[in-house]
Amino acid sequence: MAIRTILHYPDPRLREKAQPVPAVTDETRILIEDMAETMYAAPGVGLAAPQIGVSQRVFVIDIATEDEPSNLMAFVNPEIVSREGEQVWQEGCLSFPDISEDVKRADTVTVRAMDAEGKPFELTTDGLLAVAVQHENDHLDGVLMIDKLGMLKRKLVHREMMKRQKG
């Protein structure tokens, strides 16, 4: 296992649409392990493969708090098949360090994917897990948190990230 470098906005690789995983292999499982280790080290609750420069449709999520046991979930080739309701959640993103903004998302989602063993599953969820699934799934399509903000907030976040990049 290895901690990988997380790409920060405005890295253009974050805008690329990730490619489907043809089959879950040992390489896929190593990627998932590396992603989990990277996410925990950051720390974060989710990480998509494009955030570490890998153009594959894979993300990991663990919304367990520090006093709860880990509940790592891997999603390979995920597809959100239904969305219901609406919620606003204060979201952060490992590609936008130290920035959090209110983002409007569906309240309940159903996602179909494969797990780290290649077994298909379907999950219907709400709350933080629904937000995380939608957030990470967006990364697979090159859609970023900043894209969900109003024009003024988008400009402010963009400006802040550009300042940090220059350094």
**27 carries an active-site annotation:** no
Q: Of 84, 101, 117, 136, which residue is the catalytic one?
A: 136
Cα–Cα separations (whole angstroms), residue 29 to 19, 21, 24, 44, 111? 16, 12, 7, 20, 20
Task: Return the number of other C-beta atoms located less than 10 Å from residue 2's C-beta.
Answer: 8
Strand partners, 84: 108
Alpha helices in the chain (DSSP H): 26-41, 127-140, 151-166
Catalytic site positions: 136
